[in-house]
Amino acid sequence: QQSNIVDKRITPRWINYERIETVLGAVVVVVGAGAIICATGFALGGTRFFGVTSDAGGVAYALRHTVGPLAGDFFAVVLLNASLIGAGAVTLATSYVVGDVFGTRASLHRSFREAKGFYTVFGVLTLAAAAIVLLPGTPLQVITEAVQALCGILLPMTTLFLLMLCNDREVLGPWTNPPWLKALATVIVATLVLLSLILTCTTLFPAIDVTALAEIGGAVLVVVLLGMGAAALRSRPSGAGAVTFVSSGPELPKEQWTMPPLALLSRPRWSAGRRTAMLALGGYMVVAIVLLIVKSVQLAGG
């Protein structure tokens, strides 16, 4: 999303419109996915196809034989549309990241001659994904579930780094999160960590009691969040006079403020507690990814 905003040449003046676009896009995607799940569950419930389909092709086939040919064809078209959007979004995001890491031009506004690396990465990833799907005998269900589990493992860490950036005044200046949004984001990240743990456990150990795991994890999460909230309240200054702001130059309107170049940003300093938490989360990610790879190979091999 960040690279997309930069690529569209959006200035801070239009940030609120971009936020509205992001929220609407997320709502449409979630509502659409929920509608597909509910429709297929209602159509296949109580039939011989319920619970036995292993991929989207099987679902389309089942809908054709339970609801009618039009339903199966419509499901296939909707899924194709979602697949094209997803393929474009994922490959573009990866191409943007490669360009940012290696300092090359990465923009859809550039021609192929101006951004050969960007378009090459985009094309190679698209072709590789298509080849994997079209190869005969490819365990698509295992790949799909493994990718979902991997996303669940990586999401908390990436969201946490994003939250840290959003709270860094040197990076975002007047656009940093207000206190209420910091608290909300903390709850969201903590919930993502819990969901990631549940997803990883259920993927690696299908027989585990998900309900009990969720209840125990939820209780621990509530206790941890309450403790963090109490610690944050105790660490707040007692009065407005306890904080002194030193102006380093003329203040710019919020709509005109831009992030300084990376070379001018100071290296962030982490406390011992934050460093320990990041190391623990990173260690969990490494262990979970290794176990996920082992489990995926076992499932693919039968």
From first to last of its 302 residues, what are the pLDDT tens digits of the chain? 667 777 777 777 788 888 888 889 889 888 988 888 888 888 888 888 887 777 777 888 888 888 888 888 888 888 888 888 888 888 888 888 888 888 888 888 888 888 888 899 999 998 998 888 888 887 877 888 888 888 878 888 888 888 888 888 888 888 888 888 888 888 888 888 888 888 778 777 778 888 888 889 889 888 888 887 887 777 766 554 444 444 444 566 777 777 787 778 888 788 787 788 888 888 888 888 888 888 888 877 76
SS3 sequence of the chain: CHHHHHHCCCCHHHHHHHHHHHHHHHHHHHHHHHHHHHHHHHHHCCCCCCCCCCCHHHHHHHHHHHCCHHHHHHHHHHHHHHHHHHHHHHHHHHHHHHHHHHCCCCCCCCCCCCCHHHHHHHHHHHHHHHHHHHCCCCCHHHHHHHHHHHHHHHHHHHHHHHHHHHCCHHHHHHHCCCHHHHHHHHHHHHHHHHHHHHHHHHHHCCCCCHHHHHHHHHHHHHHHHHHHHHHHHHHCCCCHHHCCCCCCCCCCCHHHCCCCCHHHCCCCCCCHHHHHHHHHHHHHHHHHHHHHHHHHHHHHCC
List the chain domain ranges: 1-136, 139-234+269-302
